[in-house]
Structure 1
């Protein structure tokens, strides 16, 4: 697939974690999550949740092929003031695949909304990376009254329209179906690692993300990508009334013609209908901003959460 300069920043990020190969062991929880409380996954078969900390609720949703452990450092920072509900999606990062991939992301959305209701989470902060950021938006446009502030990490409301703002779901379906077919195959570890390096700078992190990718179920990953490319939330963003912080990445793709300004313009165009939002671009971070530009990520998120909490009082 040939990528234009405008397409690269997002397509590379999306396609990297869509690669799969031989299964690998899932990473063990870090000490920050050692005291996590597991819930009953039978109530929501498309994901599991670990609960850490005390305080106002915070729901953390990972990106494609990543388990909830991708948020370990984020949880360590916020668990003293937030009760962190850390989501791991079925079929990603070594977790068992769901029984069915039919309506995969819609089922995740509906089950997450049910989880919020049954756990009596009062307007939780939702932090989502990549696919998780898209899911946070989808939760909010579906039940605006159920969620609190959103932190969207390098994600868009319609991935297929990143290059062409006139793209429609009908236009995107053939491309998405072709991608889904291609993702049923396996990729050698070296190739998967090389792709991971386009999205992460630290070598240990690159290795971890590659292992998670290779441990993910190909059919689940392919369907998740299909759903992302054929679901357009742009026109529904006006339903969201809570504040939204959008954090974007661009620096890894400047060799292909992207600039901070051109990439931010793509974000602003896609989020134009969102009433209360702010787009901030990392200077140096790649797609995994919570890993790649950690100090900036926390600085932006801390200030946003503090401002949002003050506004709610």
Structure 2
């Protein structure tokens, strides 16, 4: 199945819609380990959920890190290790991704994990923590802030739109995207392992610039539960958070990738992100040039600085 042909309105879906182009959002942390601070003692939060688990490291103001589709929490490891010197970092792992068990067949994915994120914040006694989410994790953070504004202090969205299927044209709606989501999910479930791996290897080129990173992304994708991926993909394509933007009071920073050499063209990216977040009061939009979807991997120094600015 070639996702590129499903929506003829989109000229460059590989650059624009990584969640559909590749059912993988994970990256290698190995190349950053030498620069990371010594690992700080971690503990698993005493929180009961079949949707997610949380690892906690460091001390200080609370920061929650939410990974994207198919990702392990390890996508955040270099950042989390650095932040642990000054913050208490909560690394979320979503069920069904990167080897984590999944027990919900093809049922809903996004809203139940948003519900459990809200419950985690309440049960852990966190006072309006900062939330950073990548890709689907960014959408989850946005929904969390909309539905529970009293539980999120500020939100950073990393390369995620409030409605992913808007990439396919200004007339796209959740309902018009539903049959395409069903087609993508069905094709993914039907593919044998060899075909699926080949699809991910091809698609990974549009998600990160580094060849080693791409290989690790494919490995995380292969370790994920296909039913979980299909359920998450369906939800991502058919969840439109734009109607709730106008009433939000949570400070939001939306960071997005641009890459004239094989990724999202800068002018097109700016136009799309500006348009889709136009109704969100006070949103800060920041482009990161020379990066594809995994900004934290392609431009780590720049991303670290943006996170530090966000947390000040």
Return the TM-score normalized by structure 2: 0.88
Q: Is 1:47 the counterpart of 2:52 in the alignment?
A: yes
Is contact 1:19–1:187 with CA below 8 Å preserved after alignment?
no
Structure 2 residue aligned with 1:178:
183
* Alpha-carbon spacing, 1:32–1:92, altered in 2? closer, same or farther (3 Å): farther
Task: Summarize deviations over 1:53-111 as a string: whole Å, max 9, x none.
Answer: 10111100001111101000110221112110000111101111133442221110101
1:146-157 matches, within 5 Å, as 146-157=151-162
My pick for the range that moved more, 217-226 or 177-186, is 177-186
Judged with a 3 Å threshold, the aligned counterparts in structure 2 of structure 1 residues 63 and 285 are, in CA distance, closer, same or farther, namely: same
2:227 pairs with 204, 213, 219, which one? 219
Q: Which residue of 2 aligns with 1:234?
A: 242
Partner of 2:107: 102
Secondary structure of 2:168's partner?
coil
Could you tell me which runs of 5 or more consecutive residues in structure 1 were left unpaired when the two chains were aligned. Answer: 21-26, 307-313
In the superposition, the TM-score normalised over structure 1's length comes to 0.88
The partner residue of 1:120 within 120, 125, 144 is 125
Q: Secondary structure at the match of 2:68?
A: coil
User: Out of 12, 15, 23, which is 1:9 matched to?
Assistant: 15
Alignment counterpart, residue 204 of structure 2, candidates 196, 199, 204: 196
| Pairing partner for 1:303 from 296, 304, 309 | 309
User: Could you say which residue in structure 2 is the equivalent of 1:311?
Assistant: none
Classify 1:154/1:186 alpha carbon distance in 2 versus 1 (closer, same or farther; 3 Å). farther
Q: Measured at CA, do residues 286 and 102 of structure 1 come closer, stay the same or move farther in structure 2, by a change above 3 Å?
A: same
1:134 aligned to which of 139, 144, 152: 139
Alignment of 1:283 with 2:289, yes or no, is: yes
Check whether the contact 2:155–2:253 (CA below 8 A) recurs between aligned residues. yes
Please tell me the root mean square deviation across aligned C-alpha atoms, in Å: 2.1
Q: How far did 1:276 drift?
A: 1.9
SS at structure 2 position matched to 1:86: strand
Q: Per-residue CA shift, 1:14-36, capped at 9, x if unaligned?
A: 1344169xxxxxx9xx7865621
5 Å matches for 1:16-35? 16-18=21-23, 35=41
Q: 1:264 aligns with which of 266, 270, 291?
A: 270
- Provide closer, same or farther for how the CA distance between residues 123 and 34 of structure 1 changes in structure 2, counting only shifts above 3 A: same
Residues 34 and 255 of structure 1, relative CA distance in 2, 3 Å threshold: closer
> What is the Cα deviation at residue 136 of structure 1?
0.5
Distance in 2, matches of 1:296 and 1:68, equals: 20
Please give the alpha-carbon distance, in whole angstroms, between the structure 2 residues aligned to 1:191 and 1:146.
39
Q: 1:33 to 1:104 in 2, by over 3 A?
A: farther
Find the partner of 1:210 among 218, 221, 229: 218
Q: Which runs of 5+ in 2 are unaligned?
A: none
Change in Cα spacing, 1:186 to 1:268, as seen in structure 2 (3 Å) is farther
* SS across alignment from 2:62: strand
Are the counterparts in 1 of residues 72 and 97 from structure 2 also a CA contact under 8 Å?
yes
Q: CA deviation at 1:187?
A: 4.7
